Amino acid sequence: MPKNSKVVKRDLDDDVTESVKDLLSNEDTCDDAFKKSSLIVSDVREDKDRDIEEGFLSDEERPAWNSKLQYILAQVGFSVGLGNVWRFPYLCQKNGGGAYLVPYLILLILIGIPLFFLELAVGQYVRRGSIGVWNYISPHLGGIGFASCMLCFFVALYYNVIIAWSLFYFSQSFQQPLPWHECPLVKNKTNTYIEPECEKSSATTYYWYRMALDISDSISDNGGLNWKMSVCLLAAWTMVCLAMIKGIQSSGKVMYFSSLFPYVVLICFLVRALLLTGSVDGIRHMFTPKLEIMLEAKVWREAATQVFFALGLGFGGVIAFSSYNKRNNNCHFDAVLVSFINFFTSVLATLVVFAVLGFKANIMSAKCITLNTKKIVGFLGNTISPDLIPKHIDFSNVSPEDYTQMIEIIRRVKESDFLLLGLDSCNIEDELNKAVQGTGLAFIAFTEAMTHFPASPFWSVMFFLMLVNLGLGSMFGTIEGIITPLVDTFKVRKELLTVGCCVLAFSIGLLFVQRSGNYFVTMFDDYSATLPLLVVVSLENVAVAWVYGIDKFFEDLKEMLGFSPFRFYYYMWKYITPLVLLALLLASVIQLGMTPPSYSAWIEELAQEKSRSYPTWGLVVCVSLVIMAILPVPVVLTLRYFNLLDNSVGGFSSVSYKKGRIIKDSGAPDDDDDASLIHSKSPCSEAPSPVPGNNIYRKQSAGLDADITPNGRYGIGYLMANMPDMPESDL
């Protein structure tokens, strides 16, 4: 091989393959173990200077995305989830309307994009799941990867239950009228009356708590399994298992539908909602900024937290997806693109939600005006003088403006006695200010609004199918965050691991489809994935910027991308994002400390929610969830510190040598990349035995050690024994 030649990827013909066999057949006959061993390629790293692409391939060639579009859709599907539809609009409504978008966008640029870029970069560079990535960055902090897997598992347990709820509502939407359109009637021998629990609340509230969840009064009263939800949960896990069983080869194809369909539905909903009465009132309410609220620290804290969770940081799904990329993929462009797609999706969803809620507010306001007008007519001549009512008002058709005028006159005249009349203001703004989020928005407020839509079953089917697809997109990334690291680390079959993981998760998930299951969903959501996630991402940032070294990381990025990232990221990763994450972590700890652990229980007799404290065992579970999620970090650190784990883990990697092909990196190698001599001892002789270059050696049961190739990372070829002036092999 000529000097300074470049490393190439080439196919070997059968003759060359046979010459390799001939070469290997010349081994010493006393080396039985050597003969029985397998030929593998190993890359032993010295001072963390290794060829990542070659060294971190698994025993088979690593799968790859079929196209860049498929990869982007996977990342978008993972980051855009249910929180974009029912969490972001609530925060926008609560924190100053349109003014909330300003701190959110600022924090997205300052912490969201840099941290998202960081995860994409390390996944693509190391080409491993979260366990392999953080073990490579710092073996002592290798527990970060296991903590990410724990977080993914905890979240998957309850997140798929929300998909099961959506599947149930989806299956019930093929009816006219919708089953939650009105309160059910109860018949007995003498008369017929409205269900009391429904009459005290509303039709959609009753259907959610009693017909769907059949909820108990407390978390201590499990009430047995809800068989309808159990079947839906089984269907949800079956869908996830079938989509993920072949890894990205199967889930990647599903992404085309699961990632794009929600956008079709959101746009259809927006167009339809804008044609409804009152939708403009809702959008105007959203974009009316309350600038004074922007000065409150709580608004910035909640905006930072939403940015943090919206992008799916810390779960390992981002790293897992990016690990299937080519090494020269421009992951900086991907980070910016996906982050802004996520932002604009949140804004689009908020427009849809406020337009629909504006329509609902007008409906509720009209009902309120009708009811209170009847009260005023009853008071005329007794409590209220007819002379107080303006002459132009027609009681058979009272407009919102006329009603407001009447109420103002009566309030001014009656003053202190006004409250005794029990008249409501019926203001649309008051209705819009009722902040709802989460399941309350999706399964109560939105479903109630859709009952007033023309062709309501069609829109209900579309809405809940959209929720199912949003949930599945996030579930694919979450499960990938579990499967990919474990397959990379323990070399188990992906199909078996996927099925086993889904079966185990379904079995544990039955906890969430008991009558008290909704309370456990709240518990897991509050404690298993909030504080631990902040800890994990903070450690990720510190591991890259301060342990691995920000300067070396920038050199790696330049080598991988072909250009050096903006200096902006240098200062963000090293100083700004660690401080912001630390502040968020402290704020979350303080908030948890100041707010006693509690949950909202539905009381059947009162037909309303009531806050209750967790029992003692519930507090133990809450604390255990936090500890279990972050426990792998100190455990691995302790084991490494006391040398109870082999420090070479993560320092060695292997790749199979396939017949007829040498798997090499096509990037530009070092200049001095000649084939080199590897010194190796035969087990039964002091004579050196010929072994392949670039640490190609026969792996023995006794564990033969191989030395590093003298010419660095890119030595290739099969060499003869280590003898002076020995010519190179043409191979």
Q: Which residues pair with 108 in a beta bridge?
A: none
Q: Residue 77 annotated as binding?
A: yes
Q: How far is 302 from 310, CA to CA, in rounded Å?
A: 12
Q: Residue 433 annotated as binding?
A: no
Q: Which two tokens stand for residue 120?
A: 């994409």
Q: Residue 213 annotated as binding?
A: no
Nearest to 308 by CA among 71, 540, 649, 9: 540
CA angle 108, 112, 117 (to 5 degrees): 135
Q: Tell me which residue has tokens 């023309």.
A: 454
Q: Which two tokens stand for residue 175?
A: 């009816």
Distances (CA, A) of 170 to 82, 155, 360, 462, 463: 16, 23, 21, 8, 8
Q: Which two tokens stand for residue 201?
A: 């609340």
Q: What are phi and psi of 686, to 5 degrees?
A: -80, -10
Q: Which residues pair with 380 in a beta bridge?
A: 384
Name, in order, each residue with C-beta under 8 angstroms of 207's C-beta and a sequence gap of 6 or more: 179, 180, 447
Q: Tell me which residue has tokens 């929180």.
A: 83
Tell me the residue type at 322: S
Q: Which two tokens stand for residue 444?
A: 């109560």
CB 674 within 8 A of CB 714: no
Q: Residue 80 annotated as binding?
A: yes
Q: Which sign, positive or negative, has the C-alpha torsion 11, 17, 23, 24?
A: positive
Q: Which sign, positive or negative, has the C-alpha torsion 543, 547, 551, 556?
A: negative
Q: How far is 442 from 166, CA to CA, in rounded Å?
A: 9
CB 294 within 8 A of CB 102: yes
Q: How far is 22 from 7, CA to CA, in rounded Å?
A: 24
The answer, yes or no, to whether the previous bond of 177 is cis (omega within 30 of 0) is yes
Q: Residue 201 annotated as binding?
A: no
Q: Is 419 exposed, middle or buried (0-12, 13-18, 19+ CB in 10 A)?
A: exposed
Q: Which sign, positive or negative, has the C-alpha torsion 470, 475, 476, 478?
A: positive
Q: Residue 84 annotated as binding?
A: yes
As annotated, the binding site for Na(+) includes 77, 80, 84, 342, 470, 474
As annotated, the binding site includes 77, 80, 84, 342, 470, 474
